Amino acid sequence: MPIRRLPPHVVNQIAAGEVVERPASVVKELLENSLDAGATRIEVSIEGGGLEGIEVADDGGGIAAEELPLAVAPHATSKIEHAADLEQVATLGFRGEALASIASVSAFSIRSCRREETSGAIVEVEGGEVGPVRPAAGAPGTTVTVRHLFMNAPARRKFLKTTATETTRAVEVVRTAAIARPDVAFRVVVDGRVALDLPATAELSHRVAGVLGEEVGAGLLAVEGDPAALPRAWGFVGRPDLSRASSRSQRIYLNGRPIQDRLVVHALREGFRGAMPGDRHPVAVLFLDVAPGEVDVNVHPAKTEVRFRSPEAVHAAVRRAVRAALGGSDLVPSVETDLGSSSWSLRSPRSDAGRSQPILFSGASGTAATSRGAGWTTGATRSPAGFDYAAVAAAIASAVPAPPAPDELDDRPRRRRVLQVGGLFLVSGDEEGLVIVDQHALHERLMFESLRRRITEGPLERQALLAPATASASAEAIEAIESSRMLLERLGFEVEPFGPRTIAVRAVPSLLASRGVEATSFVVDLLERAAAEGPVPDEAAALEDVLAMMACKASVRAGDSLTDAEGEALLGQALESEGAASCPHGRPTMLRIPWSDLRRRFGRSS
């Protein structure tokens, strides 16, 4: 085939494949243009997930009528002039290809009026064909309308997600941009309904709370960095107890530009090393100030990836700033003890008559009770103040069988004494040696095996709540409720959206209720993981992974006091269970020191 020059409309569609991945990409490019134009108010309208319509209106500086055809021409821009300008890019957009690419795959129009003029103009583009410039009335600023996205590229539509998913991603683009510009008012209308309304503010913390939620905003720690240094890291990080199951609550900005960078994410995690579990992700809104000449922002079509000239310096700046923020703060989590406004009151499972019986609380005592309903002493530090665990245990059926009563152990061939040491380990012995057991890991394995057996018979027993328990969640996590509904029902949860960033839990597994586990955080973690990981090829493996999470939450913890009988019962169950040598995560549950080794170390010959 001979070499030929491609027609302009084909070139633009190829460029569109790089720049316009989905409707959210269109929103991002148009938002950046509005911000570069000096807008103080931006309104975004989305219809049909963005495929049917996207409109971005701003009150920025506007475009002169004679320049409108250039605005939709490929590689025409007002933001750079020479190649050297690429080393000092200070605007969000600069390539001049976005509008041409978008217009090539949609029905496109741009109406604009300069601030110093009384009337504006409009130009329309249909599938890449630019029409004449016509006069148009309108307030100062620019309005870009995109309809029937990918109308001449139907193959692209096949790779898009559902309307709800595409809408969520488009709105998330606005949320991300809004954090970096609290001085700009943002409004998003989805199919005629206001989905986001953020007034301008002088306080970055107010904007962060407005986007990520008041609960997150209340737990943020200020990151200062060195104001006199470049690179500099500043912004906010969440307290360790605000950590998430995925990194979706992290926003990273370079000189005001939202970016995705593994180096910065790694530095952020290093800053939290030792402050939270390794499988958790911190909440963060981090801003990096780097000299423009020290970073290349022209390495990715969507401008979300960058290349640092001195990555080690950036990594060190982020790590030091985060560590300083954590080191200068009291990280002990606060516990709410007032039950008057509690939203997680429990109901018992439905009785044979189909009526729910309320579970009792311990009234005005304000102190935590000790539970023996499931056979374990949980201790006061485990229970919410004023909650009567004995009443809970009497009213619900535990998902895990209670350990044998002490008198039942007498029927076993040999009864071994068990000693709890350090609040962590159980020590006993058998014919081969001294046995040391990690009480949490062993109970977690037994819980997991019991749950795995029970869930094959049907959904786990659930406990209805007197009032729905609400919790903040990301838009992606809320969207994952529908795709995870069957799994949630099998596990014994009843969950539904309760607003744009809130979920409501109406029923929880009896197992978690009986163990005093805060179920809403478990549900949020589960939905965050579902949103981050998406559909999995092996559903059985995914279910076991969730059961392992549940077993871990509901197991006895390090520091829980066990009576001699309870310790003996736990070890007795382990001897009768297959695979009890390791917990569901692969950690050992017990170790054995042979008698021969002990005799040798004590210098005994026999």
CATH label of the domain that carries residue 128: 3.30.565.10
Taking a C-beta distance cutoff of 8 angstroms, is the pair 461, 510 a contact? yes
Q: Which pLDDT value is given to residue 596?
A: 83
**By residue range, what is the domain housing residue 439?**
335-606
- Which is higher by pLDDT, 55 or 269? 55
Q: Mark whether 418 and 496 lie in a shared domain.
A: yes
**Confidence class for position 388, pLDDT limits 50, 70, 90:** very low
**Phi-psi bin for 302: left (phi > 0), alpha (psi -120 to 50), beta?**
alpha
CATH label of the domain that carries residue 245: 3.30.230.10
Q: Mark whether 495 and 539 lie in a shared domain.
A: yes
Q: Mark whether 209 and 198 lie in a shared domain.
A: no
Tell me whether residue 594 is in a domain.
yes
Q: Mark whether 249 and 351 lie in a shared domain.
A: no
C-alpha span between 69 and 66 (Å, rounded): 7
Whether the pLDDT of residue 386 is over 80: the answer is no
Tell me whether residue 309 is in a domain.
yes
Give per-residue pLDDT as tens, 407-426. Answer: 544 444 455 688 888 888 88
* Boundary-marking domain end, from 145, 178, 202: 202
Peptide bond into 509 cis (omega under 30): no
* Boundary-marking domain end, from 202, 228, 251: 202
Q: Mark whether 512 and 390 lie in a shared domain.
A: yes
Burial profile 275-284: b = 16 or more Cβ within 10 angstroms, e = fewer = bbeeebbbbb
Taking a C-beta distance cutoff of 8 angstroms, is the pair 438, 590 a contact? yes
Give per-residue pLDDT as tens, 578-594. Answer: 667 778 776 788 888 88
**Confidence class for position 238, pLDDT limits 50, 70, 90:** very high
Q: Mark whether 423 and 300 lie in a shared domain.
A: no
Give per-residue pLDDT as tens, 500-517. Answer: 889 999 998 888 888 777
Whether the pLDDT of residue 544 is over 70: the answer is yes
Q: Mark whether 499 and 419 lie in a shared domain.
A: yes
Q: What is the pTM assigned to this prediction?
A: 0.64
Q: Mark whether 435 and 485 lie in a shared domain.
A: yes
* Boundary-marking domain end, from 327, 346, 372: 327
CATH label of the domain that carries residue 581: 3.30.1540.20
Joined tokens for residue 401: 């069988």
What residues contact residue 361 under an 8 Å CB cut-off, 6+ apart?
A: 339, 345, 386, 387, 388, 391
Tell me whether residue 3 is in a domain.
no
Tell me whether residue 2 is in a domain.
no
Q: Mark whether 508 and 587 lie in a shared domain.
A: yes
Maximum average pLDDT range among 81-90, 388-397, 497-506: 497-506
Where are the alpha helices (H) located in 387-484, listed in sequence order? 389-395, 406-409, 439-455, 475-483
Joined tokens for residue 288: 């990096």
Q: Which pLDDT value is given to residue 415?
A: 53
Q: Which pLDDT value is given to residue 576?
A: 72
Tell me whether residue 389 is in a domain.
yes
Q: Mark whether 119 and 147 lie in a shared domain.
A: yes
Whether the pLDDT of residue 65 is over 80: the answer is yes
Joined tokens for residue 444: 């977690």
Give me the percent of the chain exceeding a pLDDT of 70: 77
Please report where in the chains the tokens 């109308």 appear, as a residue.
151
Joined tokens for residue 299: 């390495």
**Confidence class for position 363, pLDDT limits 50, 70, 90:** very low
Q: Mark whether 295 and 343 lie in a shared domain.
A: no
Tell me whether residue 543 is in a domain.
yes
Total structural domains within the chain: 3
Tell me whether residue 575 is in a domain.
yes
Cα 470–Cα 475–Cα 479 angle in degrees, nearest 5: 90
Q: Mark whether 174 and 232 lie in a shared domain.
A: no
Taking a C-beta distance cutoff of 8 angstroms, is the pair 488, 495 a contact? yes
Cα 334–Cα 340–Cα 345 angle in degrees, nearest 5: 90
Whether the pLDDT of residue 166 is over 60: the answer is yes
Whether the pLDDT of residue 496 is over 80: the answer is yes
